[in-house]
Amino acid sequence: MFEKTFEDQKLSSAERKALTQIIQESNLKNNQVGYLRNQIFDIARGAFKSYSALQVIDWLENANKLLLKSNPNLGDSRTNEIYFSPGNECLNAINHSLQKAKSTIEICVFTISDDRITNNIIACHQSGIKVRIITDDDKTLDKGSDIYQMHQAGIPIRTDETPNHMHHKYAIIDQDILITGSYNWTRSAAKYNHENILISYDKGSIKPYKEEFDKLWKEFIDYK
């Protein structure tokens, strides 16, 4: 419906009324509202053909965030998003979050073997985003592991090289978005397993995850 109303770049009174009714009747959860807000900006971006125009919409989104963050009574309007598998909800949530990255992606995940995520990570790296990956040394040897492929693409990777497991499953994007949960970044997790993903924008939660990532990065060794 939002895409349809954007065809003439106007949101008429009748369209606003119809959308309001649909939204109210849909009884959307907070994570669904947050997802739709992100999608609205993506719809607007898709209409721009020039780089300068894209800068305008980026400015609009960042200015909007700044107003919300600078008001202590409002705080960050983004709410936690929660997704479950089997199915592609977790996969799509990870990829959508990765695509938002502007400067850094720090991944600390037990095993990565889903090409649909790997290709996205490599694309982010090739676009100039600083990507770092921590993973379990044993899982790099699994059939289907994408660690070697990402290493060959030039992404810095470190592993634990211990008899124990580096069993974390989280990622931090621009120190602004946290992806965590039980979900392994594998095709079997999407197709068969009962897993979960939590996406958080809470600075208080992101900080300790970032500190743990930096600690492990110093302790672990380069993947070879």
Buried b (16+ CB within 10 A) or exposed e, 2-33: eeebbeeeeeeeebeeeeeeeeeeeeeeebee
Exactly one of 167, 194, 207, 215 is catalytic; name it. Answer: 167
Going by the DSSP 8-state scheme, the letter that residue 163 receives in this structure is S
- Catalytic member of 125, 139, 168, 169: 169
Asked if 136 is an active-site residue, the reply is no
**Three-state SS at 217:** helix
Residue 205: in which H helix or E strand, if any? helix 203-219
3-state DSSP call for residue 200? strand
Which position among 142, 174, 203, 210 bears the catalytic label? 174
174: annotated active-site residue: yes
Could you give the 3-state DSSP secondary structure of residue 198?
strand
Which residue matches tokens 């211990």?
Answer: 162
Determine whether 169 is an active site residue.
yes
Residue with tokens 């580096």: 166
Burial 83-93 (b: 16+ CB within 10 A, else e): bebeeebbbeb
Contact (CB, 8 A) for 45 and 57: yes
Catalytic residues: 167, 169, 174
